[in-house]
Amino acid sequence: MTGTTQAAPAPTDAPVADVLAIEGLRVTFGDGGAPVEAVRGIDLRVGRGEVVALVGESGSGKSVTARAALGLAGAGARVQAERFELDGSDVRRATPRQWRRLRGAKAGLVLQDALVSLDPLRPIGREIGDALRLHLGLRPAAARARVLGLLELVGMPHPALTIDRRSGELSGGMRQRALIASALALDPPLVIADEPTTALDVGVQVRVLGLLAEAAARGAGVLLISHDLAVVSRIADRVVVLADGVVVEAGPTGEVLASPRHPRTRELIAAVPTDVPRGVPLLGAPATAGPSQPAAAPAVRPPAPTGAPPVVEARGLVKAFTVGGSTTVAVDDVDLRLERGRTLGLVGESGSGKTTVARLLLALTRPDAGTVRLDGDAWSELPERARRPQRRRIGAIWQDPFGSFDPRWGVERLLRDAIAAGGGAPGSAAVADLLDQVHLSPDLAARHPLDLSGGQRQRVAIARALAARPDVLICDEPVSALDVTVQARVLDLLDELQREHGLALLVISHDLGVVRHMSDELAVMRHGRILEQGPAERVFDAPEHEYTAALIRDSPRLAVGPDARRDPADR
């Protein structure tokens, strides 16, 4: 079985009552021909008042473990365990009816923020109230009073108003609060949170983690699942690292972070970009070597060319949108310069106008005022007909590459099309060369994007952007849909390609860690305006603006040290 499980005994003076105790958990999918073992003998326990982080890449079995702990592994799953106790009762032979009584009452679940993690057709008050109706048989009026109290507990602004809103009418942070309220409705001894902060702005992340830490402080056991070690290390007492359905390392957070023993743990730690200097690869050679020796010295950056005009220069950009009679200024008097071979990082929360800036630079949106110049020549003012031959010079990569692929085309056709658009000869050799540049096997040319992993898809998107031999690459949230380790490899790739081709990069992200690791220059954006702009090190080390300082404080970084657990609510 798994060797390293629970190597460290719980560092408490009194034995903790476990709310979840699992030994030898196996989950198998599919029957007959080729059953897939997603979880292969996992030991896991969560004590009262304890936060345990279950960390691993996608496919490591962490979500399956979490679902199995609620009896929700799915109809096609076979769950076996030597020991499986939820709040002291053996659930190995629990019937569906018994499971229903346990769910919600003994264990609550918080999913990743999404419009559809709560039913988008029902007011959140009804969704949260369902738990009370199902387990306590409360009438709607009585449930409503309890729900108001719960919304207050999770710090929902204006509970009396928001209780009647639907998930689509709330911000990501408010939705996540509602989801936590629904999980906490019956004050269950176990709270399972599956990627609860993914896709949220860093400030909101901190507050969501704070709510979970508060639940633990009130005595609940919290099982926190994430691909991002930096996020969970803020509040976790213990960390359990999963890889390929097996626990590869487990122990108190501080110990695991300070002296990781398993290569997969070291990879997860190395992938966190926040404090890695510009130009240092996050992961050395992929997977095998491990990042403990931080590879080559920082490459020498080409100095900012003097005299020559910047590749892209934006002056006084303004763009407003009118929706339903009210006007929002998305971009307000923005100046930006992209230099050859250098990276400008643009950071800001969702809704700050970052993507509109990207669209303005790409001349996909016409500015209300201001201009964009390309190599000193007119760009944004050109008629589309005159601009089209020049378009190949600015490439773009988006957060969701899948949505930007024609779903009927295979990888080869996607790349040939892009090569032809850039004026090259779209032969098989050119396709293979592009795939090689993004470190993908040439065999992938025959595949369909649907069959690729998220990281492979983003590499294909990068290959497509390179096909036209651009001078500038606009990367809008290029890694925010990816696991940290995959994210690290894509970031390393972008860095390498920039050095080879002298690309000017604009990296847009809500994650300051990503942006800082990638950027020579940094611009912080809020409410459509650039708050401050300057050399990345200067902005990071001595932020001029309080908002920048808050972003830096909130960005996930590894809390290494004896006092690993810090209270994020205390900010």
Six token digits for residue 503: 């690309």
How far is Cα 231 from Cα 229, in angstroms, rounded to an integer?
5
Please name the amino acid found at residue 445: A
Q: How far is the CB of 114 from other proteins (least distance, A)?
A: 6
Selected range binding other proteins among 99-107, 234-242, 252-260, 335-343, rule: CB under 8 A: 99-107
450 interacts with other proteins by CB under 8 A: no
Binding mask 300-339 for other proteins (x = CB under 8 A): -----------------------xxx--------------
Q: Is 157 in the site for other proteins (CB under 8 A)?
A: no
Q: With binding defined as CB under 8 A, does residue 131 bind other proteins?
A: yes
Can residue 127 be called a binding residue for other proteins (CB under 8 A)?
Answer: yes
**Token pair belonging to 213:** 């830490």
Residue 382 CB burial class (10 angstroms; 0-12, 13-18, ≥19): middle
- State which of residues 75, 297, 425, 446 lies at the interface with other proteins (CB under 8 A): 75
**DSSP type of residue 123:** B
Is 100 a binder of other proteins (CB under 8 A)? yes
DSSP-derived 3-state class of residue 414: helix
The Cα–Cα gap between 345 and 347 comes to 6
- Among 1, 116, 296, 549, interactor with other proteins by CB under 8 A: 116
191: nearest Cα among 204, 209, 207: 209
Q: Which is nearer to other proteins, 113 or 495 (CB)?
A: 113
The smaller minimum CB distance to other proteins, of residues 98 and 428, is found at 98
Contact between 27 and other proteins (CB under 8 A)?
no
Rounded CA-CA distance 74/31 in Å is 13
Q: Which is nearer to other proteins, 170 or 564 (CB)?
A: 170
Enumerate long-range contacts of 448-455, CB under 8 Å, 24 or more apart.
Answer: 448/410, 448/411, 449/401, 449/402, 449/405, 449/407, 449/409, 449/410, 449/411, 449/414, 450/402, 450/407, 452/411, 453/486, 454/58, 454/481, 454/482, 454/483, 454/486, 455/482, 455/483, 455/486, 455/489, 455/490
Taking contact as CB under 8 A, which single stretch among the options 33-41, 104-112, 228-236, 506-514 is the one that binds other proteins? Answer: 104-112
Helix (H) or strand (E) holding 168: none
Under the binding rule (CB under 8 A), the answer on residue 102 touching other proteins is: yes
**All residues at 6 or more sequence positions from 486 whose CB lies less than 8 Å from its CB, including other chains:** 57, 453, 454, 455, 458, 479
The smaller minimum CB distance to other proteins, of residues 516 and 526, is found at 526
State yes or no: residue 403 binds other proteins (CB under 8 A). Answer: no
Nearer CB in complex with other proteins: 127/313 = 127
**Cβ 45 to other proteins shortest distance, Å:** 20
Q: Does 125 bind other proteins (CB under 8 A)?
A: no
Q: How far is Cα 525 from Cα 352, in angstroms, rounded to an integer?
A: 6
Closest to 472 in 3D by CA, of 357, 304, 339? 339
Residue type, 401: P
Q: How many Å apart are CA 22 and CA 71, to the nearest integer?
A: 13
Mark 163-192 with x for binding to other proteins (rule: CB under 8 A) and - for no binding.
---x-xxxxx------x--xx-x------x
* Alpha carbon distance 82, 100 (integer Å): 22
Cβ 151 to other proteins, closest distance in Å?
A: 16
Site for other proteins in 254-273 (CB under 8 A): none
Residue 119 binds other proteins (CB under 8 A): yes
104 binds other proteins (CB under 8 A): yes
Q: How far is the CB of 346 from other proteins (least distance, A)?
A: 21
Interface region with other proteins, contact rule CB under 8 A, candidates 108-116, 264-272, 299-307, 333-341: 108-116
Can residue 107 be called a binding residue for other proteins (CB under 8 A)?
yes
Q: Find the shortest distance in angstroms from Cβ 121 to other proteins.
A: 5
Q: In terms of CB distance, is 54 or 475 closer to other proteins?
A: 54
C-alpha–C-alpha distance, residues 48 and 66, integer Å? 17
> Which of 120, 157 has the CB closer to other proteins?
120
| Residues 6+ away with beta carbon under 8 Å from 570 | none
Query: 330 burial class (0-12, 13-18, 19+ CB within 10 angstroms)?
Result: buried
Binding mask 507-546 for other proteins (x = CB under 8 A): ----------------------------------------
Residue 130 touches other proteins, criterion: CB under 8 A: yes
Nearer residue to other proteins within complex by CB, 199 or 382:
199
Which residues neighbour 338 within 8 Å (Cβ) at sequence distance 6 or greater?
310, 311, 312, 313, 344, 472, 504, 505, 506
CB nearer other proteins, residue 27 or residue 472: 27
> Which stretches of the chain bind other proteins, using CB under 8 A?
67, 70, 72, 75, 100-105, 107-109, 111-112, 114-122, 127, 130-131, 134-135, 166, 168-172, 179, 182-183, 185, 192, 323-325
